[in-house]
Chains A and B, each alone.
Chain A
Amino acid sequence: GQNIDQPTEMTATEGAIVQINCTYQTSGFNGLFWYQQHAGEAPTFLSYNVLDGLEEKGRFSSFLSRSKGYSYLLLKELQMKDSASYLCAVLDSNYQLIWGAGTKLIIKP
């Protein structure tokens, strides 16, 4: 079966750095995506990794290791508005998106 694992909930402090991990086991791989979803809102696209390595976009970075079936989303200089759920998703060999259950990130002042 296909599976994506990520922690259910994480807590971090405003101004700090947090790393949200995602491991996957899928039928093939055509890319990994991170989405942000604020409470009561729809998910929005954050990042896309298809090759190994780090992709940086402002305060957010995403890393991929295909050999390990592993990714992480790194958030720097945390702000209260970063409190949200972060969803990891993998595009499999049939170009179907497989979704993780999401990680709820709580930012404390």
Chain B
Amino acid sequence: GAGVSQSPSNKVTEKGKDVELRCDPISGHTALYWYRQRLGQGLEFLIYFQGNSAPDKSGLPSDRFSAERTGESVSTLTIQRTQQEDSAVYLCASSKRGGGAVGQLFFGEGSRLTVL
């Protein structure tokens, strides 16, 4: 597609349930990021994929969080046994390979997660 696509746009779940969030990056973009943004707060880095290299998982807050990406295409972020503190907007972004272009991110509209 023309832009980064995320689904679902909104998800309401009960505490303890698992959720899966999906991101479809811009075609040809080798880098893919997941961020979390709580209401009124800045971007919190979660995980970074670059091509076929090992992902940078240094931002994942706990072992309840995991993410996968197949090649240079779709990525899924999974949160197991959700907690109320997981409520936030989860943003996916992609960028091209090469020099400063890596820092020019194109964001999806985000998935708003509410844990009751």
A and B associate in one complex: yes
CB pair B104–A95 under 8 Å, yes or no, is: no
CB pair B42–A99 under 8 Å, yes or no, is: yes
Q: Which of A12-20, A38-46, A59-67 contacts B (4 or more CB under 8 A)?
A: A38-46
CB pair A30–B42 under 8 Å, yes or no, is: no
CB pair A101–B42 under 8 Å, yes or no, is: yes
In the bound assembly, the distance between CA atoms of A43 and B37 in angstroms comes to: 11
Q: How many residues of A contact B (CB 8 A)?
A: 21
Which B residues form the contact surface with A (CB < 8 A)? 33, 41-43, 45, 48, 56, 91, 99-100, 102-110
Besides A42-B109, A45-B104, 12 new A-B residue pairs in contact (Cβ under 8 A), listed by A number: A31-B99, A31-B100, A35-B105, A42-B91, A48-B100, A91-B103, A95-B102, A97-B45, A97-B103, A99-B43, A99-B45, A101-B42
